[in-house]
Amino acid sequence: MKFFELVRIAILNLLNRKSRSFFTIFAIAIGMAFVIILLSIGYGLERLVQEQTVGLDALRSIDVDSEQSAVLLLNSDSVNKIKQLEGVETIIPQINCVGKLKLGGSVLDITVLVMDNNYLKYSYKSLVAGKSFAELSSPNLIVNEIIPNILGTKNEDVNNFIGQKAELEIIFPTNIIKSEDGLAIQTRKKDLTIESVVTDRKNQKESPTAYLFFDSLPELNNPSYSKVKVLLSDQERLTEVRAKIEAMGYTTSSAFDTLEQIQTVFTTFRIILMVIGFVGVTIAILGMFNTLTISLLDRMREIGIMKALGTRNSSVFILFFIESITISLLGSILGIILSFVLGFILEKSFQIIALGRGVSPVSFYYTPPYIVFYIILIGLFIGLITGFYPAIRAHKLKPLDALRYE
Amino acid sequence: MMKTTKSLTSNLDLKKKRELHSIKVKKKHHSTVVIKVNHLEKSFQVSNNKIPILKDISFKVYSKDFLIIFGPSGCGKSTLLNVILGLEEPDSGEVILRDTKTYSLNESERADIRAKRLGVVYQQPTWIRSLSVLDNVAYPLILTGESRRNAINQALRRLEEMGLSKFRNYAPTELSGGQQQKVSLARALVKNPWTLFLDEPTGNLDSKSEEEIIKMLTEINRKGKRTIVMVTHNYSFLLRANRVLHLLDGEVKGIHESIHEIQQFLRNQLMPEV
Task: Give one DSSP letter per residue of B103-115, joined into a string.
Answer: GGS-HHHHHHHHH
- Say yes or no: A210 and A272 in one domain: no
Q: Quote the domain boundaries for residue A136.
A: 73-248
Q: How far is B114 from chain A (nearest CA, A)?
A: 5
Instruction: State which of A248, A281, A305 marks the end of a domain.
Output: A248
Task: Note the pLDDT tens digit of each residue in A322-381.
Answer: 999 999 999 999 999 999 999 999 989 988 888 888 777 778 888 999 999 999 999 999
Query: ipTM score of the complex?
Result: 0.84
A327 and A264 belong to one structural domain: yes
* A292 shares its domain with A375: yes
Helix spans in A69-222 (H): 76-83, 119-122, 146-150
Whether the Cβ atoms of residue A212 and residue A138 lie closer than 8 Å to each other: yes
**Structural domain boundaries of chain B?**
30-270
The answer to whether residue A254 is domain-embedded is no
- A398 to chain B, minimum CA–CA distance in Å? 8
Q: Are residues A37 and A178 in the same domain?
A: no
**Dihedral sign (CA A347, A348, A349, A355):** positive
What residues of chain A score a pLDDT lower than 50? none
Report if residue A60 sits inside a domain: no
Q: Which residues in chain B are closer than 8 Å to A1, comparing Cβ atoms?
A: 142-143, 145
Pairing, β B118-121 against β B33-46: unpaired
Buried b (16+ CB within 10 A) or exposed e, A228-237: bbbbbeeeeb
Query: Cβ(A30)–Cβ(A338) under 8 Å?
Result: yes
Cβ–Cβ < 8 Å for A379, A326: no
A50, A259 Cβ separation under 8 angstroms:
yes
C-alpha R_g of chain B: 21
Give the rounded distance of the alpha carbon of A79 from its chain centre. Answer: 31
Q: Which residue of B has its CA nearest to A309?
A: B115
In chain B, residues with a C-beta closer than 8 Å to the C-beta of A302 are: 126-129
CA dihedral of A388, A391, A393, A398, whole degrees rounded to 10: -160
Best mutation site among B44, B123, B128, B200 for testing chain A: the one with the most A CBs within 10 Å?
B128
Q: Does domain B30-270 have CATH number 3.40.50.300?
A: yes
Same domain, A347 and A232: no
From the CB of residue A321, how many other CB atoms can be counted at a distance below 10 Å? Answer: 19
In contact, B191 and B220? CB cutoff 8 Å: no
CB within 8 Å: A308 and B140? no
**Is the pTM for the entire model greater than 0.90?**
no
Q: Largest Cα–Cα distance of chain B, in whole Å?
A: 77
Rounded to a whole number of angstroms, the distance from the CA of B25 to the nearest CA of chain A is 33
pLDDT for B6: 45
Extract the residue ranges of chain B whose pLDDT is less than 50. 1-12, 20-21, 23-29, 274
Q: Is B267 helix (H, G, I), strand (E, B) or coil?
A: helix
| Cβ-defined contact of B126 to A312 (cutoff 8 Å) | no
Q: Which domain-ending residue is among A248, A281, A313?
A: A248
Percent of chain B with pLDDT over 90: 63
The number of angstroms, rounded, from the C-alpha of B239 to the middle of its chain's C-alpha atoms is 14
Region of A154 please: left (phi>0), alpha (psi -120 to 50) or beta: beta
Tell me how long chain A is. 406
Q: How far is CA B211 from CA A345, B182, B184, B236, in A?
A: 68, 12, 16, 10
- The pLDDT of residue A29: 94
Contact B127 A302 (CB under 8 A): yes
Strand A186-200 with A125-130, pairing: antiparallel
Name the residue among A391, A376, A383 with its Cα closest to residue A296. Answer: A391
Tell me which chain A residue has its CA closest to the CA of residue B145. A1
What's the burial of B127, exposed, middle or buried (CB within 10 Å: 0-12/13-18/19+)?
buried
- The single-letter DSSP state of residue A249 is T
Residue A218, class by beta-carbon neighbours within 10 Å (0-12 exposed, 13-18 middle, 19+ buried)? Answer: exposed
Task: Kindly state the greatest CA–CA separation across chain A.
Answer: 113
- Cα–Cα dist B11/B9, whole Å: 5
A129 and A24 assigned to the same domain: no
Looking at the structure of chain A, the number of domains it has is 2
- For chain B, give me the number of helices (H) and strands (E)? 8, 10
My answer on whether A105 and A78 are in the same domain is yes
Neighbour count for residue A140 (Cβ, 10 Å): 19
When scoring A309, A318, A323 by the number of chain B Cβ atoms within 10 A, the one with the most, hence best to mutate, is A309
Give the integer Cα–Cα distance in Å for A197 and A151: 13
Residues A228 and A376 both lie in one domain: no
Do you find a cis peptide bond into A173, omega within 30 degrees of 0?
A: no
A283 and A315 inside one domain:
yes
The pLDDT of residue A152 is 84
Distance CA A76, CA A67 (A): 16
- Indicate whether A266 and A242 sit together in one domain: no
Chain B CB within 8 Å of residue A13 CB: yes
Q: By the CB < 8 Å criterion, does B146 face chain A?
A: no
Residue A61 is assigned to a structural domain of this protein? no
Torsion on CA atoms A163, A165, A169, A175, rounded to nearest 10: 20
A370 backbone dihedrals φ, ψ, rounded to 5°: -70, -20
Residue B102 amino acid letter: T
Residues A23 and A100 in one domain: no
Residues A293 and A241 occupy one common structural domain: no
